[in-house]
Structure 1
Amino acid sequence: MAHPIPLRRRLTRQVKDTLKDLRGPLAYRQTAYGQEAEDLLLMRMLDPKRVGFYVEVGSHHPIRFSNTYNFYRRGWRGLCIDPVPGLVRRFARWRPRDIALELGIAESAGSLTFHLFNEPALNTFSPELAAERDGRNNWAIVERRTVPVQPLAAVLAQHLPADVQAIDFMSIDVEGMDLQVLRSNDWTRYRPRIVVTECLDSRMSNWPTDPVVQFMAQQQYFPVAKAIHSVFFQRDSDALGG
């Protein structure tokens, strides 16, 4: 036997539907800030209405190309890391709940040469990738500077807030150095539910031999989705929601 829907609930739904009709296509728009809409895929995998915690290595900018800004707008907070000059200042202005760190991530503590481009999204520690991109598509290296680097595990141990029980997702986009960042984590201690990382050759046919995919499989993470260059890994003990 069907139960009648209360009048107030019916009226509320009708008003919402009417407002959507008045707004037209704008009512159904979804805003993505990630370069390949990674944030929309992450919201499909996770519950954005629940307040959670993220770690972003290769934050680049608080808003532009950000895989985490959509979550920040919904009340989330996180740890955002990138050696790009001015990162801490920009995050303090636009995302004050986040912890922003102006440093690089590597397998060993020390310092590395950071290649800065006229397109900041291309900044990289990889000398090979920097040389390959320099002069292509009007891209150019504008500066090289030595910056401090630390393993990800050490950074998390020092800067992860005491009240954070778990990392919901980790986003890594460091232009050719993603595997080194992954290797620098302590996967027995820090195990996000979802890890999204850049694989410059992310063709699914190459996954069986891809070093990033192989490494993540050793940590009991397996690919569940992909964008153009980004691959999403799920912790083996979890099942994605419908």
Structure 2
Amino acid sequence: MNFIFRKFRNIYKRLENGFQVTVFPEKFSLYPKLQYLHHNLSYSQEGEDMILSRFFENKENGFYVDVGAHHPQRFSNTYLFYMRGWRGINIDAMPGSMESFNKIRVCDINLEFPISDGHQTLTYYEFNEPALNGFCRDISMKRNGSGNYRIISEKKMKTYTLSEILDNYLPNGQNIDFLTIDVEGLDLQVLKSNNWHKYRPHIVLLEDLNRFPISQIHKSDIASFMEKQNYHFYAKSIHTLFFLNKN
């Protein structure tokens, strides 16, 4: 029965892709299979989805939570899995950010909420490069005027905790395979806002802008916090740390 279901699902996805290419050629394209047969297609900024793909290579129909999702495809740690049939929750604070998610990631739960470690009102710094948007004043001031980057607006926003978002939007009985966080300097605060007794993703990956080498990972406040939650350091890209649930 599962084999038949997967077969029909694959047929449906091919028909869906064909329809999109035919009706919206400026937005969608098909890749010749032979030309890209030996390529690994990555959407992440530093290949994080390739590390996750290797870890979850035999898993179907998984579930992710993406905090600081930014864009449905660009720099996305989850889009590759969405294309494979996974589903999840995408969260971003940028006003209007979920419009593109609701068009491209229609099967996901797409939420526009600022996340921090409590209910507070913070200043959101919006850049001409949306990937740099965030609440951390120090980081935003350093980036403002660096190269071509500049702050184009500042907005006051009320923040929510990750645990209350999951309480309200995570489907009943749904386990989280991986949680990915990239919120430009507030990553530790987002971690602290989760209920680690109730919500324990198998893998947690998030940005640490301090860029500690592996030999000094113990100096990372993020690594120390995750160790206390019974997660151990598992892998690393340039900025991203991966933690595996010890349980």
TM norm structure 2: 0.84
Helix, strand or coil: the match of 1:180? Answer: helix
Structure 1 position 225, deviation (Å): 0.7
Any residues of structure 2 matched to 1:37-56 within 5 Å, and which? 37-47=47-57, 49-56=59-66
Higher Rg:
1
Partner residue, 1:13: none
Give distance in 2, aligned partners of 1:163 and 1:97: 18
Any residues of structure 2 matched to 1:177-196 within 5 Å, and which? 177-196=186-205
1:236 and 2:246 are equivalent in the alignment: yes
Q: Deviations over 1:204-232 (max 9, x none)?
A: 23211210000000001111111100011
Match of 2:37 among 20, 27, 46: 27
TM norm structure 1: 0.85
Partner residue, 1:227: 237
* RMSD (Å) for aligned C-alpha atoms: 1.5
Helix, strand or coil: the match of 1:132? Answer: helix
Identity of aligned residues (%): 43
1:79 and 2:78 are equivalent in the alignment: no
Q: What residue ranges of structure 1 are gaps of 5+ in the alignment?
A: 1-21, 238-242
Give distance in 2, aligned partners of 1:29 and 1:180: 37
Q: Deviations over 1:114-152 (max 9, x none)?
A: 000111000010000000110002110001111231011
Partner residue, 1:129: 139
Partner residue, 1:11: none
Q: Deviations over 1:146-173 (max 9, x none)?
A: 1231011111101111252x10000000
Helix, strand or coil: the match of 1:27? Answer: coil
Give distance in 2, aligned partners of 1:105 and 1:27: 40
Aligned residue identity for 2:197: T
Contact 1:103–1:147 (8 Å) recurs in 2: no
Q: Deviations over 1:161-209 (max 9, x none)?
A: 1252x10000000011100000010100000000001011232232112
Query: Cα gap change, 1:175/1:76 in structure 2, threshold over 3 Å: closer, same or farther?
Result: same
Structure 1 position 112, deviation (Å): 1.4
Contact 1:172–1:178 (8 Å) recurs in 2: yes
Q: Deviations over 1:50-71 (max 9, x none)?
A: 1111000000000000000000
1:217 and 2:227 are equivalent in the alignment: yes
Match of 1:205 among 215, 234, 237: 215
Q: What residue ranges of structure 2 are gaps of 5+ in the alignment?
A: 1-31
